Amino acid sequence: MSVTAGIRPKSPAERLLATNSWLVFAFFYAPILVLVVFSFNANDNVGIWTEPSLRWYREVFQDQAVLNALKNSLIVAAISTVASTILGTMAALALERFRFRGQKFYDGLLYLPIIIPEVTMAVMLLLFFAQGFQWLDSTIGWSPTFGLGTISLSHIAFNISFVTVVVRARLGQMDPRLEEAAADLYASRWQAFRRVTLPLIMPGVLGGALLALTLSLDDVVITNFVAGPGSTTLPVYVFGLVRRGVTPLINAVSVVMLVASMILVAVSFGFQRDPKSRVEPSSRS
């Protein structure tokens, strides 16, 4: 006699739940689908479908303004990712491994950039740079300007928080006895970090770095405030294009950015799900 499992009529509640999840997916992905489809449209008008073509992708990679913006984006992303990963990892180590005066306060401050509205942070940074530049000019006669430098600094500022959160989660899972064991086995502080701590938190560090990279590549609001002439990044450029009227070129640029972001996020998740932590068949001897 066999048991027929799972075959029973669905209740109305279950049907409703199923419908709901399909609706949610549609809500999420239908606009993306439309965007992707219309990026392959040959027509000059965004809304009128004529025939499939790669015309707009060709134009993206021939448009000097787009390429410039892309170059700026990559420079800012590279600088801010490297700097915020190093600083964020250091902050995570300080918070997880040491006890110091004002630790709670520092801990709270670190989460601020994640919590406060992006536009608030943008205004703050703009004011900060403006005041700072004025002060620098009046004291040492150096007058820096808005540009890739200010954008990079701003991206570092908000990325540190995200990197710290991700690295801390990883550090929290690590047995602090391992660092004591390394010290017990004659490793200096640096050697213990290099040989034991860093390899073990590497998935977190890489995950944090990729998150920082993605956030930097996607940022519009803050970048828009602290950018200077000639330092437009790709998302800011796209935003500007939209205001002048949507052309299918934007669709193509958006799809390129979408795919790049998706790849980065996927890789980031891959790092954070440590392959070593999977259950391995235990070998008997």
Partner 1 sequence: MSDAVTLQGVSKVFGDVYAVRDLDLAIGDGEFFSLLGPSGCGKTTTLRMIAGFEFPTQGSLRLHGVEMALQPPNQRPVNTVFQSYALFPHMTVEENVGFGLRMKKVAGAEIVERVRRALDMVQLTHRATASSKQLSGGQQQRVALARALVNEPEVLLLDEPLGALDLKLRQAMQTELKDLQERVGITFIYVTHDQEEALTMSDRIGVMNEGRLLQVGTPQDIYEQPTSRFVAGFIGEINLLPATIVDHESVRLAGGRLVAATTGAAAGSEVTVAVRPERLSLFGLGETVPARLNAVRGRIVRRVYFGDVFYYDVDTPDGVIEVKEENRPGVALHEIGEEAVVAWDPAATTVVES
Q: Interface with partner 1 by CB under 8 A: which residues?
A: 175, 177-178, 180-188, 191, 195-196, 199-200, 276, 280, 282-285
Query: Residue 44 or residue 180: which is nearer to partner 1 going by CB?
Result: 180
Query: Residue 137 or residue 184: which is nearer to partner 1 going by CB?
Result: 184
Query: Residue 177 or residue 243: which is nearer to partner 1 going by CB?
Result: 177
**Rounded-to-10 torsion of CA 74, 148, 62, 37:** 60
Instruction: Report the nearest approach of partner 1 to the CB of residue 99 (Å).
Output: 11
Instruction: Report the nearest approach of partner 1 to the CB of residue 182 (Å).
Output: 7
Instruction: Report the nearest approach of partner 1 to the CB of residue 175 (Å).
Output: 6
Cα–Cα distance between 51 and 62 in angstroms, integer?
21
Cα–Cα distance between 81 and 213 in angstroms, integer?
5
Query: Residue 244 or residue 284: which is nearer to partner 1 going by CB?
Result: 284
DSSP-derived secondary structure for 177-193: HHHHHHHHTT--HHHHI
Instruction: Report the nearest approach of partner 1 to the CB of residue 191 (Å).
Output: 6
Instruction: Report the nearest approach of partner 1 to the CB of residue 195 (Å).
Output: 8
Cα–Cα distance between 51 and 48 in angstroms, integer?
10
Contact 88, 209 (CB under 8 A): no
**Vertex 107 angle, CA 102 and 111, to 5°:** 145
- Amino acid letter, residue 31: P
Dihedrals phi, psi of 52, to nearest 5 degrees: -70, 140
**Vertex 223 angle, CA 220 and 227, to 5°:** 135
Query: Residue 155 or residue 170: which is nearer to partner 1 going by CB?
Result: 170
Instruction: Report the nearest approach of partner 1 to the CB of residue 193 (Å).
Output: 13
Query: Residue 8 or residue 276: which is nearer to partner 1 going by CB?
Result: 276
